[in-house]
Structure 1
Amino acid sequence: VIQILFSFAVFWIMFVMAFYLLAIGRGKGNPTLANFGALPNIFGACSLAAVSHATLPHIIPPIQNKTNLGLGIAIVFIVVSAFYALLSLLIMFTFENDKIQEIVLLNFLDCSIVPGMFFIYFLGLYTTFKVSAVFPLNAVALRDNIRAIFSSFQSSHIWVVESLLFPLLTIIPPIVIAVITENIEVIVGITGSYAATIIQFIIPPLLVHYSRRDTQEKFGLCIPMKHASPFQHNFWIILAITFAVFTITSVTIFYYQTQL
């Protein structure tokens, strides 16, 4: 609850201050209509942001009445998307385009923008608190996933492997990345474009395909499902995998060209 309130406070501070600066005529932004050179990083950022959907499987099962569940989720997505779109537009018109930081909170760490040192420190420490709170949870989940992958091997149950090697495999890669680079845009682009795309657009469709095939072999084709998904056709599986291949290909070409 504290983390949710903290996040709401930070976003509303940015929203109010950006709107206030535009209202008094202090907006310096002049964004271009489109920048197709940033398209690969948009794919990466969107894929990485969409990983948060992993919380839905933990939220949906406890809900007993799922009659209007699809409508409720759609409304939440629309409201959140509208809020982020409005905040992004405000920031683009408030700050100069070439001075917008990868972590947009850094643009607000100025007394001429946000009055009061308390609010400045509050905004500045938000990312630290957020990452510090989420990192242990993600690390534990990743460690458990690695343990499950190698559970069939007898050597994985040795204390050194289970209690030392698996946790190290979880925490060493992000620590190394944090030490060797400070370019958040590249980190988000590469991580989202490759890892998050595979996790979200390749693995789930394959799981759905094989689970449907296994279900049909065991129970037959005529299985009444009151709350069945409207996206049951194999077209959606092919579309998701095609989009993933297109995203990974375009991002790879973009990074290859930028390195030449």
Structure 2
Amino acid sequence: MNLFYICIAIYLYGDLAIYAAAVSKSMRDVTCTASMTIANSTNGSSEDVGDLHCWPGAEITRTNAYRIYVLAFLCLLGPFTFFNMQKTKYLQLFTSLMRWIAFSTMIVLCTIALSGGKGQGRPPVTEPAGLPNLFGVCVYAFMCHHSLPSLVTPMRSKRHLFVLVGADYLLILGFYTLLAFTGIFTFPRLYDMYTLNFQPTSDPMGTIVPAIPFLQYFLSLFPVFTLSTSFPIIAITLRNNLKALFLREERPSSATPSASPGVLHKVLERFVFPLLAILPPILIAFATENVEFLVGITGSYAGAFIQYIVPVALVYCARNQVFEALGLGVRNQHASPFRHGAWLVFVLLWAVTCVTFVTVNHFLAKV
């Protein structure tokens, strides 16, 4: 159980670092007026434009501006980690609505550009060098379907469960495939944060997609809206996981005074664990703005354990308990088509393959 909490904590640390970096990078790229002409000239990495000035007449580089926004992000959203958030229904509805509007807008703008013959993307048929990082991103993509239990639970009849879940997967696949393919055929290069490809430039006539200022600013600031609303919730979740990992409920004994342990417990709960939850990811985001690298690391290791190892262990233990309790005489009409034990072995091998590929990719990138 402790290993599970550790993996969850590592994953959430990576998640928070990604959110802090993405929001700060978006704010930097939108507000830096001295370098707005670079939108389609680089791949968005800090090595390309990090030393350029952010504002005319100011000695602040783009890298320093990014770090200023990271600190501002900490000051604005960090305090929420010290409290509890309840009744987030409307917050989640707002976030979902923003996502659908942003994704649909990006698809429509790219479709207009492609239909007008302005597409500049020439992606190769295959790119072997990108295969290792693909595994990490695919593992990280489990966030897209970790809410499936909320779809299954309200169903009174599970008779058509596989058909409905399969249709849901196909809908998600089609939507994200459309989003991805319209993007790679529209832009010559893609930022590690796709929304930054739509940021406004100093030459509206030279943009690939239709230059609509409101939509350009909305898409560029889209991560700021959605990720900022999710950041406090994830930070509080991480704080609670750290409590479950390190704090144990102990009954006070008569031999020792109860005041001192109580004060220590309150200090740890109210101050230490919130700081442990919020400071490490902020420091990581302060050190690097490479969102693609953070996604690869988070998805490759902690994500792989959560996505593959933990489910295999749960299924294996659950099947053993069911076999001991019911034996072989009971047949489940809702049994999974992947109930054979070979699928568990396959998932484990797939997890090892993913981690191996991504690890090799990280080492090769440093050579």
RMSD: 2.1
Q: Matches of residues 99-138 of structure 1 in structure 2 within 5 Å?
A: 99-110=189-200, 111=204, 112=207, 113-138=209-234
Identity of aligned residues (%): 36
Q: Matches of residues 53-132 of structure 1 in structure 2 within 5 Å?
A: 53-96=145-188, 99-110=189-200, 111=204, 112=207, 113-132=209-228
Matching of residue 204 in structure 1 with residue 311 in structure 2: yes
Shift of 1:83: 1.9
Instruction: Specify which of 334, 340, 346 is matched with residue 239 of structure 1.
Output: 346
**Does the 8 Å contact 2:136/2:300 carry over to 1?**
yes
- Count of matched residue positions in the alignment of Structure 1 and Structure 2: 258
Higher mean C-alpha deviation, range 47-56 or range 140-149? 140-149
**Secondary structure of 1:27 counterpart:** coil
> Cα 1:170–1:63, aligned 2, differ >3 Å: closer, same or farther?
farther
What residue is the counterpart of 2:45 in the other structure?
none
Instruction: Specify which of 114, 131, 134 is matched with residue 39 of structure 1.
Output: 131
**Does the 8 Å contact 2:113/2:210 carry over to 1?**
no
Larger radius of gyration: 2
**Does the 8 Å contact 2:199/2:219 carry over to 1?**
yes
Shift of 1:68: 1.0
Instruction: Specify which of 281, 286, 294 is matched with residue 179 of structure 1.
Output: 286
Higher mean C-alpha deviation, range 181-190 or range 80-89? 80-89
Distance, in Å, in 2 between the alignment partners of 1:50 and 1:122 is 26
Distance, in Å, in 2 between the alignment partners of 1:58 and 1:164 is 33
Deviations 1:100-119 (A, max 9, x none): 10111111113433433211
Shift of 1:86: 2.0
Higher mean C-alpha deviation, range 232-241 or range 53-62? 53-62
> Cα 1:208–1:173, aligned 2, differ >3 Å: closer, same or farther?
farther
**Does the 8 Å contact 1:40/1:193 carry over to 2?**
no
What residue is the counterpart of 2:120 in the other structure?
28
Q: Which has the higher contact order (CA 8 A, sep 6+)?
A: 2
Shift of 1:232: 1.5
Shift of 1:40: 1.5
**Does the 8 Å contact 1:51/1:200 carry over to 2?**
no
Instruction: Name whichever structure is richer in helix by fraction.
Output: 1
Deviations 1:103-136 (A, max 9, x none): 1111111343343321122111111111112222
What residue is the counterpart of 1:140 in the other structure?
236
Distance, in Å, in 1 between the alignment partners of 2:312 and 2:133 is 23
**Does the 8 Å contact 1:27/1:94 carry over to 2?**
yes
Runs of 4+, deviation exceeding 6 Å: none
Shift of 1:52: 3.5
Runs of 5+ unmatched residues, structure 2 = 1-92, 251-260
Q: TM-score, normalised by structure 1?
A: 0.90
**Does the 8 Å contact 1:147/1:162 carry over to 2?**
yes
Deviations 1:27-86 (A, max 9, x none): 111111111111121111111111332212233222211111211111111122112112
Runs of 5+ unmatched residues, structure 1 = none
**Does the 8 Å contact 1:143/1:167 carry over to 2?**
yes
Q: TM-score, normalised by structure 2?
A: 0.65
